[in-house]
Structure 1
Amino acid sequence: MKKKIFSAYDIIFIISVIAVFVYAVFVPPVHSVADQGDFERVMRPCGLDFPSDYSFYDYAVRFFYMKFTSVDLLLYVPRLLFLVPTTTFIFPTATTRLICLPFGAFDMRILAVMMFLWYATVCFFIQRKFKIENKFLHYIFLLFFIVVFFNGVNLTILNSLYGQSVMLVSFATVVLFGLYMFENVHDAKNSVIIFFTVSSCLLLGSKLQCAVFTPFLIIAVLYVGFKSNKRNLCIVCSIVLLWHGVGGYVINGGQLNLDTQYNSVFYGILKDSPNPKQDLIDMGLDEDMAADSGKHAYLDKSEYKYPPRSDIMNEKFHSKMSNGKLIKFYITHPLRLVSVMETTAQNAFTNKINLGTFEKKYGYAPNTSSYRFDLWENIREHLPKTLFFIIPSYAVFLLIGIVMLKKKNRYAVPFIFVILMGLIQFPMPYIGNGAADISKQLFLFNISFDFGLTVLIYMLFKTVSKKLSKKISKNS
């Protein structure tokens, strides 16, 4: 009998996610997210500009101008060819620009559809990897998968220029090709290795914080290269990943790196410090800068004794500060590290961006925020936001990975990598940027938690399914 191209599960998945997407985003009033200043850093390379009546914080904006600066126009093709590290948004916006060209303006809703098609396609093939013999349990699991990964918050963010959008989709793409690559690690296809590398570059370009994934992705590629005897290809792929990870962070970080370094000390270490002067001395810095303790990098210059981005700060602070000193401080002050990790935990498990989610034309008050189909988001927000919950949860996820390894499950390694990549995201927001935007920077940590929980549910359902099958076979 000829095998069906689409199973019943596939058809239900396709119909369900399309219906959820339309409901969560496009049923009037259309849901999007207002800009808080994050859009500009990805707009310029993509050839986009603000409309004349642009507003921040309060209302979402649908249409943008399409125009390049001379420098960005010159770099556009090299960026599209992965020769120059850049924002991942350049790829979906390039397609959207072509569609919008006859209309003369860039339409965010078309971008949202492009992003959804990318995300839904990747998730379609991921959900196919989950096989449960009991049909009822499989349908229940499929419903859980859709509720978790197609919740209205994730879908609404697709209708925006926030980095979380491309981070979500590219992370899912890395997971998919990671599964393909490790399915037959001793005979991995060249095309799969290349697609894994490309998707990894997309993840690295989604947000600067993703540069920390570079070692994980390189190790994964090299491991497959040596196991499959395709070392030369994988060495080249590793160099490409290094260029887009470390090189992209250096090239595209610019002023933002200075701001995050400032926040990590003044809005992080010094913010609730019992002795800010001593902390500065411990880091080899001038204790007089303690006057600016608890201030982030985006206040008016008149509010600082030593204004950020000034010459005196370059001399007294940035030239002497480094990530190594930051890490050393927390290692030598373990109680402070535990304290800031508890603060981070209190901001976990929510991906909502609490800015205006409607266009101004709908008549809502400024900064009105609402999301549809957010059941999972609301459930996750009520999970214990403490290290005493997070640490055991990830210990369970890693234990699942170890059990999978012992059973020689071919998906064990990529699963462990996903959990570790999510886990490494947890300490980064506060250590790397202080108390600024902790929840927003935990986006991928929350997604990795969802993935770990999904695999846990899957393992439980699969175990129950096997027991039911044995029971039925005995009775018959």
Structure 2
Amino acid sequence: MKRLNKPENMILVLGLGIIIYLLFVRPFIGVADNGDFLRMMSTTGLNYYDAAESYADRFFNFSHSRFSYENLFKGFYPSSQIILVLIPRLIGGVFHGSYFDIRLLGAVYGLLLLGATWLLVKHNARGSYIAGLLLGGAILFVFYDIGYLAYFNSLFGEPVSMVFMLLTFAIGLRLTRMDRPTTKGLTVFFIAVLFLTCSKIQNAPIGIAFALIFLRFAALQGEGNWRKLALRFSAAIFLISILLYVTAPKDLKHINLYQTVFFGILNESPDVKGDLQDLGLPERLEVLAGTNYFQTDTAIKQDDPTLQADFYDQVSHKDVLFFYLKNPGRLIDNMKYAANNSMSIRPYYLGNYEKGENKPEGSLSYTYSVWSQFKNNHVPHTLGFLLVFYGVYFAGALFQYFRSRDIRGKVTGELMMLLGLIGIFSFLVPILGDGRADIGKHLFMFNVSFDMMVVTMFGWVLYKLAGTINLD
């Protein structure tokens, strides 16, 4: 009983209860497919369970708990998610060969989230019982919200990013708290960073940022060949991040370029022809301004052979970056648009219930959704608010950084500043890489970072209070 009374263990039990209630007790809650499932299904040997269901039933409106088995690797989408899906998929195939129950995957994500929660509470409560409970309560309130957990019962890549973001910082902070951090701990940290970076192609810049953190970790006084291992991990994650972007599927690059230019730069442009000229593209493409890659009524079809020479071979994301550097006002306009869509944890256009529940099409579950609803309805959706929020966060992080007198404190501060930088990356990358297309969903990692920053600031307040009053 003494062990159960520890804050981290009490929070673990509560978290387990929330996960079981939301994800494993009827009615089934998941997230409907918007077409993205196909990439992971073709890789991991899954297919839609009902081959005869209509388009409206398969996409957008209803979630699915059952998937049929197919041959592995009919296609290939590079992502660390493959490993996490294959484990329950192979286990499920042995014990339940008629169909794959997506809740097996949800259980994997749930265990990873519980592990991250336990580590964060255990190693960041600073010995205060009440502070540990309050910190754990904040984590349960924010990251166990249905807006996050519903993703667990789906084939989207978002939950991989979320759980490994939490695990990465939980493990990283634990290492900086140790007098003599171990190489085993550093290896586990690298694995977490690897899964985070490789979960989605848009996370590649995150890996490059963590390469710098590994360089800083090399300065810590760790056990064994700590310094050499940290340097090797730094080089490895840097190269893997570059490779992840370079080897991205050609079709995906085409989609992203189309969205970035026609649904981003040229969307509501005051001078479409001038923008095309700046990008080195022919004026005839002005008819595509404001269209997205998946529209069926465009004047020029997205796979028209002439677009290969006139568009796909002529422009790259480097050109997009230079365009925005030359026209910062246009970037700010799209940043304002992104900010207006930045506080939605969940995609409100994708249903949560299965069709068999007889709910209206696209119905959402609002059980345990206080945080996601508060953010969506009450937190300002403006660029100005985000600038103030980030300013306050970085001011606090820098204050702690310069007050730290030892290398461990400095590296801890740098790790927390990296959290803010990941949020900035995750805000800008969708704009530069996919325009305004499905911007709310593409800002998922921004939301994870934002929420982690909120909990971090709450934890910092608890830490300060614990030092001035008795919170034991």
TM-score, normalised to structure 2, is 0.90
Structure 1 stretches lacking a partner, 5+ long: 76-84
Matching of residue 122 in structure 1 with residue 116 in structure 2: yes
Query: In the alignment, which residue of structure 2 is the partner of 1:418?
Result: 419
Query: In the alignment, which residue of structure 2 is the partner of 1:27?
Result: 25
Indicate conservation of the 8 Å contact 2:45/2:73, yes or no: no
2:344 match: secondary structure: coil
Indicate conservation of the 8 Å contact 1:59/1:359, yes or no: yes
Query: In the alignment, which residue of structure 2 is the partner of 1:233?
Result: 229
Matching of residue 56 in structure 1 with residue 24 in structure 2: no
Indicate conservation of the 8 Å contact 2:44/2:73, yes or no: no
Q: Distance in 2 between matches of 1:198 and 1:95?
A: 17
Indicate conservation of the 8 Å contact 1:193/1:221, yes or no: no
Match of 1:208 among 193, 201, 210: 201
Q: Distance in 2 between matches of 1:111 and 1:367?
A: 23
Q: How many residues align?
A: 455
1:338 match: secondary structure: helix
Q: Distance in 1 between matches of 2:380 and 2:123?
A: 30
2:153 match: secondary structure: coil
Change (3 A) 1:172 1:135: closer
The Cα of 1:141 is off from its aligned counterpart by: 3.5
2:249 match: secondary structure: helix
In the TM superposition, what are the counterparts of 1:134-145 in structure 2 within 5 Å?
Answer: 135-136=129-130, 138-145=132-139
In the TM superposition, what are the counterparts of 1:460-475 in structure 2 within 5 Å?
Answer: 460-469=461-470
Greater alpha carbon shift after TM alignment, 409-418 vs 323-332:
409-418
Indicate conservation of the 8 Å contact 1:225/1:231, yes or no: yes
Greater alpha carbon shift after TM alignment, 175-184 vs 376-385:
175-184
Matching of residue 338 in structure 1 with residue 332 in structure 2: yes
Matching of residue 457 in structure 1 with residue 458 in structure 2: yes
Structure 2 stretches lacking a partner, 5+ long: none
Change (3 A) 1:133 1:87: closer
Change (3 A) 1:241 1:133: closer
Query: In the alignment, which residue of structure 1 is the partner of 2:152?
Result: 158
Question: For residues 226-283 of structure 1, what are the alpha-carbon distances to aligned partners after superposition, in whole Å with 9 as ceiling and x for unaligned?
Answer: 5557454334323432343222233233211111111111001111101100111111
Greater alpha carbon shift after TM alignment, 205-214 vs 235-244:
235-244
Q: Give the aligned residue type for 1:163.
A: G
Change (3 A) 1:10 1:133: closer
Query: In the alignment, which residue of structure 1 is the partner of 2:242?
Result: 246
Indicate conservation of the 8 Å contact 1:31/1:371, yes or no: no
Matching of residue 395 in structure 1 with residue 396 in structure 2: no
Matching of residue 98 in structure 1 with residue 90 in structure 2: yes
Match of 1:295 among 291, 294, 316: 291
Indicate conservation of the 8 Å contact 2:28/2:65, yes or no: no
Indicate conservation of the 8 Å contact 1:58/1:356, yes or no: yes
Match of 2:211 among 201, 218, 234: 218
Greater alpha carbon shift after TM alignment, 40-49 vs 438-447:
40-49
Q: Distance in 2 between matches of 1:297 and 1:171?
A: 30
The Cα of 1:467 is off from its aligned counterpart by: 2.7
Match of 1:172 among 161, 166, 176: 166
Indicate conservation of the 8 Å contact 1:156/1:371, yes or no: no
Q: Give the aligned residue type for 1:31.
A: I
Q: Distance in 2 between matches of 1:275 and 1:403?
A: 45
Q: Distance in 2 between matches of 1:17 and 1:469?
A: 26
C-alpha RMSD of matched pairs (Å): 2.4
Query: In the alignment, which residue of structure 2 is the partner of 1:80?
Result: none
Query: In the alignment, which residue of structure 1 is the partner of 2:103?
Result: 109
Q: Distance in 1 between matches of 2:132 and 2:234?
A: 38
The Cα of 1:25 is off from its aligned counterpart by: 2.3
The Cα of 1:53 is off from its aligned counterpart by: 3.6
Indicate conservation of the 8 Å contact 2:336/2:382, yes or no: yes
2:67 match: secondary structure: strand
Q: Distance in 1 between matches of 2:271 and 2:455?
A: 44
Question: For residues 188-244 of structure 1, what are the alpha-carbon distances to aligned partners after superposition, in whole Å with 9 as ceiling and x for unaligned?
Answer: 422222222211111122111101212111111222235557454334323432343
Q: Distance in 1 between matches of 2:3 and 2:373?
A: 36
The Cα of 1:133 is off from its aligned counterpart by: 6.3
Greater alpha carbon shift after TM alignment, 54-63 vs 402-411:
402-411
Q: Give the aligned residue type for 2:43.
A: P
Q: Give the aligned residue type for 1:219.
A: L
Query: In the alignment, which residue of structure 2 is the partner of 1:79?
Result: none
